[in-house]
Amino acid sequence: MDSSYRSTAAAIQETHVSAGTIALWWLGQASFVLRSANSTLFIDPFLSPGSDRLVPPPFTAEESPAVDYVLCTHEHIDHLDLPACVTLARRFPQTRFIVPRPIVEQLTVQGIAEERIQGVQPGEELSLGVARLFPVPAMHGLSCPPARYDFGFEQSGGLYRYLGYVLELEGIHIYHPGDTLVFDGLVEQLRSFDLDIALLPINGRSYFREQKNLVGNMDEREAADLAAAAGVKLLIPTHYDMFAANLGRPGLLIEYVRTVYPQLSCYVPAHGRRFTFTRGDAR
């Protein structure tokens, strides 16, 4: 592991955050750590090493700082890293796992106790300590070709299989969509949350990627269009760095935002480095 990453786990554990402020760490792909004065949350933690990763995990699950809640948006390995979840569950008995209801069994068959897992659906509101969680739909797919993007109802008994999450933490509203395309009604849903931060994928989709079983996402322009239409204060791009065949272009995003939406703040984070946001920033 690169020595520049070695302090990330310790920094997360040792960071003390004031009221009204959150600290975020981007771990690569769609993986984030959020820390408030009272809790630590992981979203889509992808912590297992792999030869096809372009970015190593800043820490493994065995090296991880303590975590109160692990939120996973869907079952692809870069969002639901089952070996990492099993290790986190073993190391931290207090950790609770939040996943779409149709995939709860994927954790229980790995030995994670059912009472530690909360399966959720859109329209539900959960209290995670001092945080509030609002699941929202995501439009994605399990595999391709053929490319099929939907909500996963057919594979899930009419339930949403892919989710995004809006978190209210220290009065700050953060949207993490997992993997999704833009779909009818998404802008209106997001506007209702008065979002401060949106962590949006930018790797896009294409026919040729889909022939290689690479299910896609919104691209750089769509992410900016969505953030602007939804009234987001700060856009942070994600999901563009991990696999050689499935990259995005943050530079294009910045240029597009600068040209088309100069009122929209955009921040490109560094892997494993802390970023802090205080309630009222970027307004």
**CB-based contact 45:65 (threshold 8 Å):** no
Superfamily grouping for domain 3-269: Ribonuclease Z/Hydroxyacylglutathione hydrolase-like (3.60.15.10)
Q: What CA–CA distance (Å, rounded) separates 260 from 238?
A: 20
Packing angle between helix 250-260 and helix 220-229, nearest 10 degrees? 40
| Beta carbons within 10 angstroms of residue 10's beta carbon | 12
The average pLDDT across 163-172 equals: 97
Type and span of the H or E element at 32: strand 31-35
Domain residue limits, the chain: 3-269
Residue-level pLDDT at 95 = 98
Are 211 and 193 within 8 A, CB to CB? no
What is the per-residue pLDDT for 283? 60
Q: Is the pLDDT of residue 202 over 70?
A: yes
Rounded Cα distance between 19 and 279, Å, is 9
**pLDDT (mean) for 191-220:** 97
Q: Number of helices and strands (H, E) in the chain? A: 7, 14
pLDDT band at residue 7 under the 50/70/90 scheme:
confident
Rounded CA separation 148/74 (Å):
16
pLDDT for 245 beyond 70: yes
Percent of the chain with pLDDT over 70: 97
Claim: this prediction has a pTM higher than 0.85: yes
What mean pLDDT is predicted for residues 222-242?
Answer: 98
